[in-house]
Amino acid sequence: MNPDTPLGSVIQGSLSQGLEVRLHADVLVEDMRVGKFLVVQGVRSRFFCMLTDVTLGTASSRILANPPEPSNTFLQEVLAGTGTFGTINLSPMLMFTPKAEPPMQRGAEAGKRQKAKGKGQNSQLASFEANTNAVELLPVKTIPSHFSQVYDASERDFRAVFGWEDDPQRRNFAIGQPIDMDVPICLDLDRFVERSNGVFGKSGTGKSFLTRLLLSGIIRKRAAVNLIFDMHSEYGWEATREGKQFSTVKGLRQLFPSQVQIYTLDPESTRRRGVRDAQELYISYDQIEVEDLMLVRGELNLSEASLENAIILRNEFGKAWISRLLSMSNEEIQEFCEVKMGSKSSIMALQRKLTRLDDLKYLRPTCPRNYVAQVLESLEAGKHVVVEFGSQSNMLSYMLATNIIARRIHASYVHKAERFLQTKNPSDRPQQLVVTIEEAHRFLDPATVRQTIFGTIAREMRKYFVTLLVVDQRPSGIDNEVMSQVGTRITALLNDEKDIDAIFTGVSGGQALRSVLAKLDSKQQALILGHAVPMPVVVRTRPYDESFYAEIGETPWEDLPTEAIFRAAESAKADLGF
């Protein structure tokens, strides 16, 4: 690819439907792939565009009626570019417009560019900054004229749009690269964490790897503190890599040992996997509220009448209503119903079904201390918390514990946010919290979204400094109102039409991106759109491997203390016999 060589000319188009480009005769149509980025050079602006479709055209219907023989390569070459040609459809995303600078500022910018140029390759970051500051990124509100030339997007174009990871003014994190270039595509993490976000894709497309990348970036750049509900124990210590041969990848605790704390609801399972110093986490019956049972009514097979009687029991016995119910005899239930106008059959059915809670290892009638408060203290201290479920990863266990813990932590954050709004003291400002949940449609479907704290968090967005990172393979199961509040959507391959429609809920121009999403590879490719990127982009996601560990880990070799390096060198010499 040569960004200085034109690929084609704009022949027609509109602002709403995009541009149609006829490829030049020497351009191979097979090199034009959906999701590729191209630039259209207009008279006053450069238009940064995404390729959304590729078609073949002919100048005359006679050619289609009488095509050349397969062996007649001479005639095929004669027709190529004149009688037969390729066309592509482009969706303009952004415009590069030169800034109008005062003479003095223009001279200063020229001096900066000249100074950066004189420093050679080591000043690459400064030169990109100087070059990109000369243009202004604007939303597309017009289109280029007829016969405007189309070029491959250059590295400078990508830098101007997506920035660079070492930008001192923004917390950028490289999430991947364009499909056909080796230039980083960066997320603005400050914009990412201030709204709820989603990672979507069908099973086996690498959602967990994508989520680990994002969480690692947030931790590395200190953009927020994370609370991760780890249903399948994939984020804390280590996880299995997919493939024919068995191998594992590092978890967040291994990459950031001083910043990540693991809490476990199944200590035996955690110890069997070789995880050390994980803290136990238990929940008492008095921390379960009726709203939590409404969330898992399907798993417990609770009727509406049982839930209504649960409210009567709670009003009578307070927080201890579950312990009191499980210890009540038939005579006590009968007496209670006569006094409080309850239904004996419904209460007995509720009692019988709540005995399933005894199967959950982390539930206790009473706890010696408030374990959820310990999680909150870790978050307040700036620790990133991973809550592992171990063998307790069935939907009843996961949904119940997740809702209970998140509800109490959110209540604390609401109190802190209200105090901050009153005092306006920067020291009272809560640290931004990102809550990661898997199987998100179980919490956010239209039938239960009002009973879960996660629906509240998604709707409130950043008002109380708490946002969601939802991981799901069925975005169509999430309530439309919640999906419209998801700021940034990182989507791997999806096949179901309903799921694809859900991804583009509330997204203008989503129809042109549907074909892009449908053409993704099943591995290591994703479409990113929304609040944290200036425009939709298809990326080859960054590998989560040894090179990533070296770049992202909190203790690089060069940052170790001098004495430690000296001792390590002496030890190595001794091992080698020197």
CA–CA separation, 144 vs 39, rounded Å?
Answer: 11
- Beta bridge partners, 466, equal 433
> What pLDDT, on the 0 to 100 scale, is given for residue 40?
93
> What pLDDT, on the 0 to 100 scale, is given for residue 423?
85
- Average of pLDDT values for 46-65? 85
CA–CA separation, 205 vs 81, rounded Å?
Answer: 39
pTM: 0.79
CA–CA separation, 86 vs 79, rounded Å?
Answer: 12
- Cβ neighbours of residue 359 closer than 8 Å, sequence gap 6 or more: none
DSSP string, 291-324: HHHHHTHHHHT--HHHHHHHHHHHHHHGGGHHHH
CA–CA separation, 2 vs 21, rounded Å?
Answer: 18
- Beta bridge partners, 40, equal 47, 150
> What pLDDT, on the 0 to 100 scale, is given for residue 100?
58
Topology, domain 187-282+367-552: Rossmann fold (3.40.50)
> What pLDDT, on the 0 to 100 scale, is given for residue 237?
82
449-464: pLDDT as tens digits? 877 788 888 877 668 8
Report the mean per-residue pLDDT for the chain.
81
202-215: pLDDT as tens digits? 888 888 889 999 99
270-305: pLDDT as tens digits? 888 888 788 888 888 888 888 888 888 888 888 888
The three-state secondary structure class of 407 is helix
Please give the residue that has the higher pLDDT: either 155 or 107. Answer: 155
Angle at 184 between CA 182 and CA 185, to 5 degrees: 125
Residue whose pair of structure tokens reads 């910018």 in the numeric block: 109
CA–CA separation, 484 vs 463, rounded Å?
Answer: 17
CA–CA separation, 171 vs 311, rounded Å?
Answer: 47
Nearest Cα neighbor of 390 from 228, 279, 234, 241 is 234
- Cβ neighbours of residue 475 closer than 8 Å, sequence gap 6 or more: 198, 200, 441, 483, 494, 499, 502, 503
Sign of CA dihedral 485, 252, 524, 537: positive
Instruction: Give me the phi and psi of 267, to 5 degrees please.
Output: -55, -35
Domain assignments of the chain as residue spans, ordered by start:
8-99+134-162, 187-282+367-552, 306-359
List own/partner pairs for 473-477 with CB under 8 A and 24 or more apart: 473/200, 473/201, 473/202, 473/203, 473/207, 473/499, 474/441, 474/499, 475/198, 475/200, 475/441, 475/499, 475/502, 475/503, 476/441, 476/501, 476/502, 477/441, 477/442, 477/444, 477/445
142-189: pLDDT as tens digits? 899 999 999 988 888 888 888 888 877 888 898 988 887 788 889 999
The three-state secondary structure class of 253 is helix
* pLDDT at residue 123 tops 60: no
Residue 503: half-sphere exposure toward Cβ, Cα within 13 Å: 35
Nearest Cα neighbor of 2 from 35, 34, 24, 18 is 24
- Cβ neighbours of residue 434 closer than 8 Å, sequence gap 6 or more: 193, 218, 224, 225, 226, 227, 467, 468, 469
